[in-house]
Amino acid sequence: MIDHVSLQRPDSFYAMIGGHATFTKLVDAFYAGVAQDELLIFMYPDGADLTGAKHRLQGFLEQYFGGPGTYSQERGHPRLRMRHLPFPVTPQARDRWLVHMRAALDAIEVPPMYDAMMWDYFERAATAMVNSPEGATEGPGLPESR
């Protein structure tokens, strides 16, 4: 098991907002919303079992915000756009993702400065993942039978 406390720099963004425990709360709150969202949940190959998705998102976010580099050790370079290409990330899907991430950020109640920094990243990253136009019936990640 990884000792997340010994891996964090005391001056990192990750440490300043509470480290591993805060990111666990964020990811759990986020996926609680996603699990109930018909538009987003079908993008998860394991369906209702979001354990793997939670692990990957938490590892990525912890690493991005200055925590342990576990994500890259396990999965290599993040290559977010490439990893999301099989899924139809429409502007509507981006907006739904952001709704759930906003609710998750509100749930963890980090100080406003940190909230703003995280939200800025989430908005930019979510927009960068868009790979299908609204209303697309064919394209990356869309089932042929749609």
- Write the pLDDT tens digit of every residue in 1-38: 454 444 555 678 999 999 999 999 999 999 999 999 99
pLDDT in the model for residue 120? 97
pLDDT in the model for residue 135? 60
Phi and psi torsions of 55, nearest 5°: -60, -45
Looking at per-residue pLDDT, the higher value among 138 and 106 belongs to 106
- Give the percent of the chain with pLDDT over 70: 77
pLDDT in the model for residue 141? 44
- CATH numbers and ranges of domains, the chain: 12-129 (1.10.490.10)
Largest CA distance in the chain: 51
Q: Does 88 have pLDDT greater than 90?
A: no
Q: Does 138 have pLDDT greater than 90?
A: no
